[in-house]
Structure 1
């Protein structure tokens, strides 16, 4: 028996089909709307966080805000053991084809040093140095000193030069108090090998030398404040406070001279500071060059007067290293190559300089020009 045809049933079926067909695009529209709402919420959250951080920076006092930003940079740059590499920079050393570029290039062409760049924090002493830093490097911090312009070359032993040196000591003390170990390096020191394997594990404070006497424990060694590795502990914090306060006992002297005075002080023994001096075989300079390119870790353009002379000899060092690295391992070992410097950085000029009445006629640096 055939089923009876019903117009009303057909209409109901058609309506149900139409409703089902309309449901699919409606669900799709709902899904799109939910996704759009989700993305909008995430975008607003990101903006809120960014604005909150900016507002937090703005609401903090200048001193606290500076410390807050510094801590963020140190945390990002630190090694697993909370060690960072620090250098200072001003406008005079920051320009293109100047000290900064040679310093960074040495990390890139050195043996095992490129990876250390991610742990390097550059402390900019003026606005132009900071802007140049952020253009070429990841981790940069602005450090200002009220009433002092560090942008130009500081003449050796002038008032601004001394303020710059002592500001550095006080700043490094604050790094130790934050719980970070540091390698401080002048920017006119080229890094050709990873220096960490050459550091003493048991030392609190170890420092490079202008002249090394053969024994790392001999306090008669001539230290150079341009390169040191310092571990954060109560002993080193007390030592840096003592070093900084000692400027009052030795007015008119810079930090390196004062260190040469206080290294004999009983206070060093009383606090139990373990001090070591680094061999110029590995940590050389123009005062006493490393003799063997197979051993050298760093080379410092110390014992040098004037930015032009310093740049000349630093460029020669870079070229010497490139020539050395182009050799086969066998030739590297057999030729016993050394440096073609000093060239423009003459020790005779230093002798003449030391006899000048005021000792301010020569160009200084943002860190330490003659030492």
Structure 2
């Protein structure tokens, strides 16, 4: 199977914008391709695609696709230059050399890549180069590996798992952190691309490493969030001032992201979801989803966990509570009966 070069040669441009511009290249020894693909314009994908389009030279083309036609129409309306809408995922892959996917669940990723890879004729025109597929979805590592294997065995391209951290706010601001699993020869290329949508790109190892790193991190985050909510509720019920308690924790050994940045008690951290009725942020359902994926992946490798199942059950209970459903996962504090 042919190796993918760090920067692929450009495909034929599709109706490029003719306005003159200075062309930026990632490296003096490579050409920047002209056509890009982006599949999945949800809460994360939409701002990511917008940031990518903003960083690309104006005469490059971004081909977008989503099952939600309203999302693609809105994107084109807000970003009219250098954007084209594809009817399906296969069309994106046919017209682009780098394809980025941001999808909700494992079955969505499996379905989209089946559509992309079958039949295995993307390179049949004799001039197109192997594709580079970057999947930023947080999904089951087993499903991701099967998609990667199908991609590589078809000879049509290389696959990188690149889940991200930073949430919708990070996606909008372009400050995401990407954790990637990739072959060494495509790390630089993937890093250059992802850096247009985020602030940090961390290469954790071969394919699959990005997802395993993300799930380990989010497992810890989910547990820390519950522990912070319980500790804050405990101290406040004992009569401690919420801000004084949080300040003490944040210069002591209990300090963590939920205590310092996303404190679950309203009024402690200005601008946090807790101060907005727990609106926005990292949803309870997403915390539960990532915990489920982490627990499943751990079990498949015979890894013993002590707290995961209990935390998963608690998040499910929180999401089933009317006053907590659909809110930031720090709403656990409300579920525990914390003072607001």
Greater Rg by CA: 1
Structure with the greater relative contact order (CA < 8 A, sep ≥ 6): 1 or 2? 1
The two structures share one fold, judged by TM-score above 0.5: no
Greater per-residue helix proportion: 1
> TM-score scaled to structure 1, two decimals?
0.29
